[in-house]
Amino acid sequence: MDLIPLPHRTERAEGFFELGDGFGIEAGPGTEGTARWLRATLGVATGFALPPKKGDEYDVLHLSVRPGLEAEEYRLVVAPHGVHVQGGSPAGVFWGAQTMLQLLGPDAFRRAPLPGRTWRLPLTEIRDAPRFRWRGVMLDVARHFMPKDGVLRYLDLLAAHKLNVFHFHLTDDQGWRVEIRKYPRLTEVGSWRARTKFGHRASPLWEEKPHGGHYTQDDIREIVAYAAERHITVVPEIDVPGHSQAAIAAYPELGNTDVVDTTALSVWDTWGINPNVLAPTDNALRFYEGVFEEVLELFPSEFIHVGGDECPKDQWRQSPAAQERIRELGLKDEDELQAWFIGHFDSWLTARGRRLIGWDEILEGGLAKGAAVSSWRGYAGGVAAARAGHDVVMCPEQQVYLDHRQVAGADEPVPIGFVRTLEDVYRFEPVPAELTPDEARHVLGTQANLWTEVMEDRARVDYQAFPRLAAFAEVAWSGLPAPAERDFAGFERRLAAHYGRLDALGVAYRPPTGPRPWQRRPGVPGRPIDGPPPNR
C-alpha cells in the first residue's frame, strides 16, 4: 500500500470501499478538528461535501477517541460499508486520517477535483503508533526569510509525514523575524539586511539588494493555531548570547560596548560564526526577559529554545565589564559565564511553567537540572546530557542536517558539508547504542534541521528537504530494525508512489536521477567535505 511512514501492523483483505457523493463523517467527541481538516482537504480534492452523518448509516467515516490506546496511537479499519478511524487522543485520530488520505492515492492531496476520478480505499486494518514523541523539523527563517504562506505550507508537509514538532528558528545575526511590541527596533532595524552573501561565506558572490521580513504577532498566532489544528507543537528559538548581531544592531547597548563600537554594527550580511555577542549585563538580561515575556504569550509550547551555540568568548575575554562579572559571580571562566547566562533563563522559564532547551554547547560550564539539550555536534552531547539526567533531542549535524549535500555529483546546488544520501538518512539511528535503557528514556526523540544560508527560497528548501525528510519521518515514527537491517529497497519502492503525493502537493523535491536544470546553481561556491562523516 506504499505508506510512508511505515505502519506498525497492516492486514489487507480482498476488495475495496468506494467513496461517493453521499460519503459523510461521524465525528465523535474530540475529533471535530480532524473532521474540519478532512472537509478542507479531502473535500476539496474530491468535491464531496462530507456532511455530518450518524453511525447507523452507510458510507460513513467514523472518527472516535478510544480509551486503551496510547495518545498518538490509531486504528484504521476500512470495511465494506464504512471506515473507522480510532485514536487514543485527537492526535491519534488525526494521524489515522492522514494514513487514510495516503490510501486514497496522490490525487487526494490536490486542491481541486479531477474529472472522472474514482475514489476507493482498500479493505484493510492498520494498527500504528509512533516510536518517539518528539518528531521534529527545524526551519531557519532568520538567514532567509520565508513568508507566512510558506510556513503554513511547511506545516502541512510536516503533518502529511506525521511529524509533530516545528522548531521555528526566529532570530540570528542575519535577521530578527518576530515582532516584539516592547522593542520595535528589533523588526524595524533588525529584520532587514542591505545585501546577502550568495553561496558559502568564502564565495565572492553577493546579491546586492535588501533582504528581510518578519512575522507580526498576529501572524505568529495564526501559525501556532494552524499547527495546533494539525497536532504540531511550535517551539520558538530566540538565540542568546551568541548569534545576536541583528539584535545588537537594533539596540547597540546589548553588545560589549567596552570592546567594540556597537553603534557601527548592522544586520550581518554573510555567514559563519559571528564574534559580536551579547554582553553579560543586567541590562541584557532584563531586555531578553521582556522579549521572552511576549514570546510566552505567543507560544504555548512546553519548551522554549534559547540557542546557546557558537558563542565566541573573545569579546568577553577582552571586556573589563565581563571580567568583573566573572569575579563578582565567583566563576572560573567564560564558559561558566555563558552557563550563568543560560542558567538565568532556565530559572526564569521554569518559574513560569516552561522548560528551556538549547544546543549542546549549553552543557559547557554546567547545565541547570531542568534544561533539555538539542544534540547537534554529533552524538556525544546527547550521550553526556542523557547520562547527566537531561532530556535530549537527537539532531546530529553529520546525520540529519538536510542542508548538507545529497550526493557528491558536480550538479548538486551549492554543495555544503558531508554527503548525506537518502539511504544514509534512512539508516540514521537516534538512540546511541552506548546508552543504558534508563539513560535512553531521556531521548525525547529526533529532529532534522534545515539551515537556510544557501537556501534562498522555498524551492531550495524543498530540494534539500525532500525526499530525505520522508526517510527521516519513517525513522522518527516507525519501529524500524537496527540500521544495517532496514529494508531500504522496500522504502524506495514505497517512495516511488510517494513522489506522486509530493507532486500533487507541489513539492520541488530532488528527483532520484539528480537535479533538474533549474535546480542547479552552477558557479556558486559551496563547502563540500569529503569522506564519511564522523559517527560520534
Distance (Å, whole) CA 19 – CA 43: 11
173 Cβ contact list (under 8 Å, min separation 6): 142, 243, 244, 245, 246, 267, 268, 274, 276
Using an 8 Å Cβ cutoff, are 470 and 161 in contact? yes
Distance (Å, whole) CA 194 – CA 338: 31
Helix (H) / strand (E) containing 290: helix 282-298
DSSP one-letter code for 480: -
The residues facing 255 across adjacent strands are 278
The single residue of 26, 128, 172, 462 carrying the catalytic annotation is 172
The number of beta carbons lying within 10 Å of the beta carbon of residue 335 is 17
DSSP one-letter code for 124: E
Q: For the chain, give me the number of helices (H) and strands (E)?
A: 17, 22
The single residue of 2, 269, 310, 503 carrying the catalytic annotation is 310
Question: From residue 193, how far is each of 108, 237, 273, 454 by CA, in Å?
Answer: 41, 20, 17, 16
Catalytic (active site) residue 310: yes
Catalytic (active site) residue 172: yes
Burial label, 299 (beta-carbon count in 10 A; 0-12, 13-18, 19+):
buried
Burial label, 223 (beta-carbon count in 10 A; 0-12, 13-18, 19+):
buried
The single residue of 62, 214, 243, 390 carrying the catalytic annotation is 243
50 Cβ contact list (under 8 Å, min separation 6): 23, 24, 25, 35, 38, 39, 42, 43, 61
Report the 3 state secondary structure along 8-51.
CEEEEEEEEEEECCCCEEEECCCCHHHHHHHHHHHHHHHCCCCC
- Cis preceding-peptide flag for 241 (omega within 30 of 0): yes
The number of beta carbons lying within 10 Å of the beta carbon of residue 21 is 10
Dihedral sign (CA 523, 469, 134, 158): positive
Copy the grid coordinates of residue 499.
513522489
Name the residues annotated as catalytic: 172, 243, 310
